[in-house]
Amino acid sequence: MTTQYHPTARYTSATAPGALPLLGHAPAFVRRPFGFIAGLAAHGDLVRLRLGPLDAYVACHPDLVHRLLTEDHTYHKGGVVIDKAREAFGNGLATCPAADHRRQRRMLQPAFHRDRLPGYAAMMAEEIAGTTAHWRDGHVIDVPAAMYRLTTAVTARCLFAAHERAGSLPVHECMDVVTRGVARRIMLPIPGADRIPTPGNRRFRRAERNLREITKRLISDYRAAGTDRDDLLSMLLGALDENGTVLSDTEVHDQVVTFLLAGTETTAATLSWAWTLLAANPAIRDRLHAELDTVLDGRPARYEDLPALPLTARIVSETLRLYPVSWVLSRTVAADAELGGHRIPAGATILFSPYLLHRRADLFPCPDRFDPDRWLTTARPAPGTYVPFGLGARRCIGEAFATTEAALAIATVAARWTVTPTPGRPVRPARGSSMSPRPFTATLTRRAR
Ligand code: HEM
């Protein structure tokens, strides 16, 4: 299948069947969110939906998704969810409107430059080894919680690396409350419900205040010391816009919270899914173990090992294909537009779903099969087909950071442990805006080599 967008080509358009009066497709979407979204591609390239009062289009064809994400002057990141997210965690890179985005992205891009990765990876390796050091043979762990602890430790360390007090500050604790509280707030159906003084809301406000206090102190300490500590906070403090202006303390704080939120749950969910997929596919797990035994011989993985661990990298890519954590995303149309030969009115919402694209049999043969070897080909997937990190100007800034972290974690853990989910209950995705697994447990078995 070619996936080159031709402006003159016509793409099919339809309204999804089964809309109910008033509620539209909302009940079907809520009942089976993933199956519902994946099924839309059968109706057309651009499918119209009604979710209660919201009229939306879903771009199901990769060409249309490519155009949606690369023509960012027409299609903006915005809408209700982004507005709520901005209210909850500030005007950082992930939530800022188009008008602020170019400046922010330019200022932050150097922090994620490839040259910085080896430094971050060294910190990641230490944190991965540290968080798994207390694991014991036969222990049963709550997998998503353990992976979340691991990725929180990594992100906190890469943000505030060398600060001698970072370890003694309750950063992890605040992050946990803030991250989960923000996710809940984005989903809240009743306006103002986040201001009711419930114990949960009070805990959230306290954690948010503490996190702000901690970052404020770290910022003033870092500014006073004036040295680059090779971490993300140093990069944020050193970032200059085209007028030579630095970020204000509030802007730095918003970016810190953005990185914590965008970078922890996402990578933790990817790792959790990887353990379930490996357990369900023992032949691939055996090959992974063989790769790790040859290269690592039981020691933790380092950045320099990654080129010698191609199967590990393919397992990360394939996990993100089957379980793209950001499984449905949206854009709003700035002015009347045309997409695939169809008129879209200004203000309309257009959704796209990496999950839908990644499960299309015409793009990925046997799409439900976990097959890391499908990535053996050197040909890159056609534009718009494989988009776990999005595309275009708003593409994930942390992509290389996340894939490096995931590869190091899988390699370090699988070199020493077999992770076997407790049998009897299939692991399912939780309902929500991120495709995280529901809580599940697994037994750790120390590998004999
Ligand atoms: C497996 C892990 C991750 C996945 C699947 C993921 C996915 C994504 C996706 C799909 C987007 C684009 C959203 C859109 O177009 O509407 C995005 C944006 C973003 N991600 Fe990630 N992400 C991951 C890890 C990270 C990490 C580790 C960080 C930072 C440390 C990060 C920071 C961001 C930021 C700041 C944005 C907004 C970029 C912009 O608008 O310019 N992400 N991510």
Q: Is 78 in the pocket of ligand 1 (CB under 6 A)?
A: no
* Ligand 1 atom having least distance to the Cα of 330: 16
* Ligand 1 atom having least distance to the Cα of 232: 30
Distance CA(144)–CA(81), nearest Å, equals 25
Token representation of residue 199: 């114990």
Q: Which residue do the tokens 């109910």 mark?
A: 20
Phi/psi for 342 (5° steps) reads: -115, 140
The pLDDT of residue 14: 95
Mean pLDDT of the chain: 90
Average pLDDT over residues 251-260: 89
Ligand 1 centroid, distance to 406 Cα (angstroms): 14
Q: Where are the domains of the chain?
A: 1-87+327-382, 91-320+388-449
What letter would DSSP give residue 436? P
Residue nearest to atom 17 of ligand 1 (CA): 396
Give the pLDDT confidence of 37-55 residue by residue, as tens digits: 999 999 999 999 998 888 8
Phi/psi for 97 (5° steps) reads: -70, 165
Give the pLDDT confidence of 389-437 residue by residue, as tens digits: 999 999 999 999 999 999 999 999 999 999 999 998 889 998 777 899 9
Question: 91-320+388-449 adopts what CATH topology?
Answer: Cytochrome p450 (1.10.630)
pLDDT of 5 higher than 70: no
More confident residue, 301 or 174: 301
Least confident of 154-163, 323-332, 364-373: 154-163
With the most atoms of ligand 1 within 8 angstroms of its CB, the residue from 271, 396, 397, 436 to mutate is: 396
Q: Is 273 in the pocket of ligand 1 (CB under 6 A)?
A: no
Average pLDDT over residues 341-364: 96
Give the pLDDT confidence of 210-220 residue by residue, as tens digits: 878 888 888 88
Average pLDDT over residues 16-40: 93
* Ligand 1 atom having least distance to the Cα of 105: 41
Residue nearest to atom 18 of ligand 1 (CA): 396
Q: Is 325 in the pocket of ligand 1 (CB under 6 A)?
A: yes
Instruction: Give me the sign of the Cα torsion angle 134, 135, 137, 141.
Output: positive
The confidence band for 345, taking pLDDT boundaries of 50, 70 and 90, is: very high
What percentage of the chain reaches a pLDDT higher than 90?
A: 67
* Ligand 1 atom having least distance to the Cα of 402: 27
Distance CA(182)–CA(184), nearest Å, equals 5
Residue nearest to atom 27 of ligand 1 (CA): 263
Residue nearest to atom 16 of ligand 1 (CA): 329
Average pLDDT over residues 213-236: 85
Distance CA(156)–CA(121), nearest Å, equals 13
Average pLDDT over residues 338-357: 95
Give the pLDDT confidence of 263-273 residue by residue, as tens digits: 999 999 999 99
Q: Is 77 in the pocket of ligand 1 (CB under 6 A)?
A: yes
The strand order across the sheet containing 13-15 reads 13-15, 46-51, 54-59, 349-352, 329-333, 75-76
Give the pLDDT confidence of 89-142 residue by residue, as tens digits: 789 999 999 999 999 999 999 999 999 999 999 999 999 999 999 999 999 999
Ligand 1 centroid, distance to 78 Cα (angstroms): 15
What percentage of the chain reaches a pLDDT higher than 70?
A: 92
- Please say whether the structural domain 1-87+327-382 has been given the CATH code 1.10.630.10: yes
Average pLDDT over residues 379-383: 88
pLDDT of 349 higher than 80: yes
Distance CA(255)–CA(269), nearest Å, equals 22
Ligand 1 centroid, distance to 93 Cα (angstroms): 10
The pLDDT of residue 7: 61
Q: Is 258 in the pocket of ligand 1 (CB under 6 A)?
A: yes
Q: Is the fold of 1-87+327-382 the same as that of 91-320+388-449?
A: yes
The pLDDT of residue 4: 61
Q: Is 262 in the pocket of ligand 1 (CB under 6 A)?
A: yes
The confidence band for 2, taking pLDDT boundaries of 50, 70 and 90, is: very low
